[in-house]
Amino acid sequence: MASNFDSHDASYQGALSESPQTDALARPPFLNVAEYVFSEGVWRNVGWALTWSEPGELVQSCHVFGGKLYVCGDQAMRVNAGALQTWGLAYMPTDYDWAALAGGVFSANDGWALFGFGEHDGKLIVCGLDFNYPDLGVGVRWLAAWDGTAWSDIYSSGTAGGLGLTIVYGAVSYGGDLHFWANCGSVPGSFTMRLLKATSSSTADIVFFMTGPASTPNDFILHGSRIYGASYGGAPGLGNIKNWDGSTVRTLPGNLSLTADDATVNALLSRSANNMLVGGKFDEANSLNVDCIVNYHQASDSYNGDLVDDGFNDTVRALAGSGTDVYAGGDFTASGARTINHVAWWNQPATQWEQLGAGLNGTVRDLALNGDSLFAVGDFSDVAA
What would the 3-class secondary structure string for 66-125 be? CCEEEEEEECCCEEEECCEEEECEEEEEECCEEECCCCCCECCCCCCEEEEEEEECCEEE
At a CB cut-off of 8 Å and minimum separation 6, what does 94 contact? none
Question: Can you name the residues that pair with 378 across neighbouring β-strands?
Answer: 364
Tell me: pLDDT of 3 over 80: no
Q: Is 22 exposed, middle or buried (0-12, 13-18, 19+ CB in 10 A)?
A: exposed
pLDDT higher than threshold 70 for residue 273: yes
Sheet containing 192-198, strands listed edge to edge, beginning at the edge strand earlier in sequence: 165-174, 177-184, 192-198, 204-211
Q: For the sheet with 284-285, list strands across it.
A: 256-257, 284-285, 288-289
**Between 74 and 280, residue with greater pLDDT:** 280
pLDDT-wise least confident of 50-54, 176-180, 239-243: 50-54
Check residue 54 and give its pLDDT: 57
Neighbours of 339 (CB within 10 A): 11
Please give the residue that has the higher pLDDT: either 61 or 253.
61
Among 314, 294, 315, smallest CA distance to 305 is for 294
pLDDT at 164 over 60: yes
pLDDT exceeds cutoff 80 at 244: yes
pLDDT at residue 96 greater than cutoff 90:
no
For residue 220, pLDDT over 70 is answered with: yes
Q: What is the CA radius of gyration of the chain?
A: 20
Q: Is the per-residue pLDDT at 215 higher than 50? A: no
Confidence of residue 12 (pLDDT cuts 50, 70, 90): very low
pLDDT band at 41 (very low <50, low <70, confident <90, very high): very high
What is the pLDDT at residue 331?
A: 97
Share of the chain above pLDDT 70, in %: 67
The answer to whether the beta carbons of residues 89 and 114 sit under 8 Å apart is yes
pLDDT of residue 86: 66
Question: Distance between CA atoms of 143 and 157, rounded to whole angstroms?
Answer: 9
Q: For residue 179, give Cα distances in angstroms to 48, 53, 88, 175.
A: 37, 30, 23, 9
Out of 74-88, 197-211, 318-332, least confident range: 74-88
Judged by average pLDDT, the poorest of 182-191, 208-217, 240-249 is 208-217
By C-alpha distance, which of 330, 191, 179, 312 is closest to 246? 179
CA dihedral 362, 221, 142, 184 (to 10 degrees): -90
The amino acid present at 74, given as its one-letter code, is D
pTM listed for this prediction: 0.86
What percentage of the chain exceeds 90 in pLDDT? 32
Q: Among 47-51, 129-133, 216-220, 306-310, which is the least confidently predicted range?
A: 47-51
Whether the per-residue pLDDT at 307 is higher than 80: the answer is yes
How confident is residue 366, by pLDDT bands cut at 50, 70 and 90? very high
Per domain, the residue ranges of the chain are 1-100+361-385, 102-217
- DSSP 8-state secondary structure symbol assigned to residue 10: G
Q: Which pLDDT does position 272 carry in this prediction?
A: 93
